A and B are shown apart, each in its own frame.
Chain A
């Protein structure tokens, strides 16, 4: 890899910096080298577990997996880095109005709803626009379960890992916070509504810091194929795992396609007969059409299931878990 290298002014160790940095942290002592664009932004860190603990977490995960249990895997590499995440304390407030439609006495009525939004939160933005590792996209699912340590109070030698330099400037962070926060809260408000007709909100960004999240990428080999597992270094949770696709899964994909054909036939023949001719129930045609379209898509994608290269298992979202 081609880096600019220089000697750390605090500990004398060699520091490597890729060409696109805005903030570089010495991986030996934690000294910082910010560009003028970054200024003096504070940093907190989630301490990482040891490499052995991460490898053990991967083995545990595989042992509990329905398909991988008992399979012999070889860990090829385990590389940890601290991923910089901008955390912005933001407050969003305002009014919304929207409607949903429901059926009542053989007619459709529009029900209007309105309310207020007032939320304060820490909103995370990845400090790397371009470095992407498998599993990095779901860091936020475990981020808020971790305990941070103030950067100044860290025994750096015990937690040292390379720190990915920041390549997103603060003006971009400000725009992204506003953009994504409104999208996220807007999606939440819109749930259950057909449309929003008013969404007047204001976003105030109060303070900001960088949190360094320990992210491990473990590569294992199984029968000649190489697969990756992403692990949260703070608590050892497996964020995402690539697995081989076994014969059983491919047979399952084929069976699903065939089942969809049967369901489509039954929908046209049986369910149509029931819903299409019963008095007082409209929409029998639409119902059948929806079923047939879904079945058609399932059968069409049977080919993709049969020839899939890897299966990706993601850590479920906290909301899904609950």
Chain B
């Protein structure tokens, strides 16, 4: 069998050149190649299970990006941030790039307003509260569906242990269920309801993230990237002094305008005290917010995939497709 790297390998063996794992399916004879250090759970030809994970063992989700690729991803992502210095690419040095596996538990959550009206979604609970970036990735939608896993004995990275027990994780997912319920409550305010939230645990997985620290002009910045799909989960970045100064000046200008308008409104009109007070308070707060933007450190958080519910304005239509799968048991759900 020829490996993708050009090397010749024997059946059911590992390529000595690139480390790819070559395997034949026992059921259909199909030949599959897995990336180094991974294990394929089912045959892509016939879906026959090839390997099984031990019961009680938490699988490791595969890594799809190398360190170099992930650094490029981060650089490209940051280059269109407001105020990023012109020499950012040239003077940025990655000090540390650690691959870390974090434990997560996946839940399918269904929030029923009544028998007919419900919301369904998935939620990942991070099972280790010691991550320094925990608050930054709480809402992150992890892309997990395990069909290929890392070989446990090949894991050389940092692994955060599971420190939150299952029953506690179930408690942690409850607020998410309640927020789903609240969405339907707002839509169907006075419809008779019998609220209920159900959660179904779908298993644990160790998920790979890159924890990066980079340096730019003597100052350190941190970032966390998804090692599976390359998404920047969280990143701190520098802002050049020219941009800070221009934002700062606009803040000062806003405050000057606020003072002028306050003076004008305190002189003219029937309700001078009310008008001038409102204008002064609003303008001062806005000026302070702008000045704070000019001074503070900057970071950005991304979400992997927003909820797949498309916006409601024009979600459906008609499409002419003749060949369709008739659902054998058309499901009818009636409300009472």
Q: Which of A35, A121, A180, A187 contacts B42 (CB 8 A)?
A: A35
Task: Answer yes or no: A60 CB below 8 A from chain B CBs.
Answer: no
A19 with B313: CB separation less than 8 A:
no
Q: Which of A15, A39, A44, A269 contacts B271 (CB 8 A)?
A: A269
Does any Cβ of B come within 8 Å of A303's Cβ? yes
> Which residues of B lie under 8 Å from residue A307 when comparing CB positions?
82-83, 247, 293
- Known A-B contacts A36-B47, A89-B324, A269-B270; the reply to A178 vs B333 at CB < 8 A is yes
In the assembled complex, the CB of B22 is this many whole angstroms from the nearest CB of chain A, namely 10
Taking the closest CB of chain B, its distance from the CB of A268, in whole angstroms, is: 4
A123:B316 contact, CB within 8 angstroms: yes
Shortest distance between the CB of B58 and any CB in chain A (Å): 16
A contact patch SS = mixed
Which residues of chain B have C-beta atoms less than 8 A from A295's C-beta? 282
Contacts of B308 in A (CB 8 A): 125-126, 128-129, 176
- In the assembled complex, the CB of A223 is this many whole angstroms from the nearest CB of chain B, namely 10
A302-B290 in contact (CB<8A)? yes
Is B171 among interface residues, defined by CB-CB distance under 8 A? Answer: no
In whole angstroms, what is the CA distance A197 to B192 when docked? 7
Contact A5 B32 (CB under 8 A): yes
Contacts of B86 in A (CB 8 A): 224
Q: Decide if B327 touches A19 in the complex (CB within 8 Å).
A: no
- Is A102's CB within 8 Å of the partner chain B? no
C-alpha spacing A6/B229, complex, angstroms: 21
Per-position binary interface string of chain A over residues 118-141, scored 1 when its CB falls under 8 Å from any chain B CB and 0 otherwise: 000111111011111000011111
**Min CB gap A19→B, angstroms:** 3
Please tell me if the beta carbons of A184 and B327 are within 8 angstroms of each other in the complex: no
Inter-subunit contact A273/B271 (CB<8 Å): yes
CB–CB B83/A206 < 8 A: no
Known: A121-B318, A176-B120, A265-B279. A245 touches B82 (CB 8 A): yes
Whether B80 lies near A226 (C-beta < 8 A) is yes
Interface status of A159 (Cβ within 8 A of chain B): no
Cβ–Cβ contact B289 & A265, under 8 A: no
Query: Which B residues lie within 8 Å of A186 (CB)?
Result: 117, 187-188
Q: What's the least CB distance linking B285 to chain A, in Å?
A: 6
Q: Is A42 an interface residue (CB 8 A)?
A: yes
Would you call A75 an interface residue if the criterion is a C-beta within 8 Å of the partner chain's C-beta atoms? no
Task: List 23 A-B pairs, Cβ < 8 Å.
Answer: A121-B317, A122-B316, A122-B319, A140-B310, A150-B323, A202-B332, A206-B327, A207-B325, A207-B326, A225-B79, A225-B80, A227-B80, A260-B282, A261-B261, A261-B286, A272-B271, A299-B286, A300-B285, A303-B293, A306-B250, A308-B82, A310-B80, A318-B314
Listed in ascending order, the chain A residues whose CB lies under 8 Å from chain B are 1-7, 9, 14-15, 17-22, 24, 33-36, 39-42, 44, 87, 89, 94, 98, 121-126, 128-132, 137-141, 143-144, 148, 150, 167, 172, 174-176, 178-184, 186-188, 190, 195-209, 211, 224-227, 242, 244-245, 254, 257-258, 260-262, 264-266, 268-270, 272-273, 292, 295-296, 299-300, 302-303, 306-310, 317-320
Known: A266-B275, A299-B282. 12 other contacts (CB 8 A): A2-B38, A20-B144, A20-B145, A87-B319, A172-B120, A224-B79, A300-B286, A302-B286, A303-B286, A306-B247, A306-B250, A307-B83
